[in-house]
Amino acid sequence: MTAPQTAAVPRRRLAVVLFNLGGPDAPESVRPFLVNLFTDPAILRVPGFVRPWLGRIIAWRRTRPAAQNYAILGGRSPLLELTQEQAAALERQLNADGRVEAKVFIAMRYWHPMSDEAAAAVKAWGPDEVLLLPLYPQFSTTTTGSSIAAWEEAASRIGLRVPTTTLCCFHSDDGFVEATTAILRRAYDEARAALDPAVRLRVLFSAHGLPEAIVKAGDPYQWQVERSVAAVVQRLGLADLDHAICYQSRVTPQKWIGPSAEEALEAAAHDKVGVLVVPIAFTSEHSETLVELDVEYRELAHKLGIPGYFRAPAQNADGAFIAALADLARGARASGRGLCSFAGARQCPKQHGDCPHARARTADTLKAAA
């Protein structure tokens, strides 16, 4: 007698939305990309009636140098293709155990495909749930925060109402730290082998800078960058490691957090040490790694007489990094929270009032009071 057959339980359809910056896909896209960037209220924090024309002036002034940088890369950013590789690898990982039917979408912030396009594609696919997953390890109001706001607006416009989980950060996640440390270890060994044995090697962890005023207003980005570096250095396990943090890509005249990458290179030249630059806040190669780090700062290091300049690659579709993203996605879904960090609850100290958990609590308090 044959056993009665039971209907297969359909797998839940999970849409994972990867947030990234975006980049121009042709020379003629450079200026509109910059306009999108500099008219974002999270980036240009001036009164709303000023922002449209001031942002366009800044974009106009930045178009020529930016176009020259992208010309080095063939006239376009490689970021979309690299993010697509990450998305495809993550989708394979999430579907491997058969527990969910996962599809990974990309929402770029300042160039296509942007949130409106991604939200429309997600709605057309018809998921049971959505996971918002930034490719920024450290939260900032200028990156992940801006992307979350853009996504929420786009989803609202088209009536996409699906249970959604948002992962805000993964700066000290074990998997991310282990994957990053493995890449650093390989680069460190290669640099050490190429450098004169008598010359010390300094590891410079480089992150995109922010205006100091944004950090003082409560943005947790700098604190999270420091946590990432501390975790990677501890995992690397070299007791005598010479290392420092620096910040790159300053684009406005106001005071930015430091030390700048230029200042860090000047210090290395003074100390007569070689440098290995590690992009700690970028998980995909783009103009700020391939041009700023690999061309501009390399030339500056040579000019300053630094005895050796090396650079660790970004994670891109590194297998250990993709596995870490998959674990982060599973952990976020299992957290039972609409907003979660890599460890579940809020991680940022109280003084960081722009932590999204702090903002969510404030919003809930105001809603309750109303």
Residue 248: predicted pLDDT: 97
In the structure, what pLDDT confidence band is assigned to residue 365 with cuts at 50, 70 and 90? low
Residue 44 has pLDDT above 60, yes or no: yes
The CA distances from residue 84 to 144, 187, 217, 353, in Å, are 18, 25, 34, 33
Query: In which residue ranges of the chain is CATH 3.40.50.1400 found?
Result: 12-171+320-369, 174-311
**Domain 174-311, CATH among 3.30.70.20, 3.40.50.300, 3.40.50.1400, 3.40.640.10:** 3.40.50.1400
- The fraction of the chain above a pLDDT of 70, given in percent, is 95
DSSP lists the bridge partners of residue 201 as 274
Average pLDDT over residues 305-320: 98
Nearest to 60 by CA among 41, 37, 26: 37
Read off the pLDDT of residues 208-225 as tens digits, 9 standing for 90 and up.
Answer: 999 999 999 999 999 999
Q: Using an 8 Å Cβ cutoff, are 106 and 120 in contact?
A: no
The whole-angstrom separation of Cα 352 and Cα 350 is: 5
The whole-angstrom separation of Cα 227 and Cα 75 is: 35
**Could you tell me whether strands 242-248 and 274-279 are parallel, antiparallel, or unpaired per DSSP bridges?**
unpaired
Read off the pLDDT of residues 165-174 as tens digits, 9 standing for 90 and up.
Answer: 999 999 999 9
The domain defined by 12-171+320-369 folds into Rossmann fold (3.40.50)
Q: Is the pTM of this model over 0.85?
A: yes
Read off the pLDDT of residues 135-162 as tens digits, 9 standing for 90 and up.
Answer: 999 999 999 999 999 999 999 999 999 9
Read off the pLDDT of residues 2-37 as tens digits, 9 standing for 90 and up.
Answer: 555 555 567 999 999 999 999 999 999 999 999 999
The more confidently predicted of residues 142 and 369 is 142
Q: How many CA atoms lie within 13 A of 152 on its CB side?
A: 9
Please list, in sequence order, all residues whose beta carbon lies within 8 angstroms of the beta carbon of residue 114, skipping any fewer than 6 positions away.
Answer: 22, 107, 108, 150, 154
Q: How many CB atoms lie within 10 A of CB 205?
A: 26
Q: Considering the chain, what is the average pLDDT of its residues?
A: 95
Q: Which helix (H) or strand (E) is 247 found in, with range?
A: strand 242-248
Residue 165: predicted pLDDT: 98
Tokens of 352: 């960081």
Residue 302 has pLDDT above 70, yes or no: yes
Q: Using an 8 Å Cβ cutoff, are 169 and 137 in contact?
A: yes
Average pLDDT over residues 233-247: 97
Residue 264 has pLDDT above 80, yes or no: yes
Residue 4: predicted pLDDT: 58
Residue 364: predicted pLDDT: 59
Average pLDDT over residues 337-341: 97
Residue 9: predicted pLDDT: 63
The whole-angstrom separation of Cα 202 and Cα 274 is: 6
Residue 3: predicted pLDDT: 57
Residue 369 has pLDDT above 90, yes or no: no
- The fraction of the chain above a pLDDT of 90, given in percent, is 92
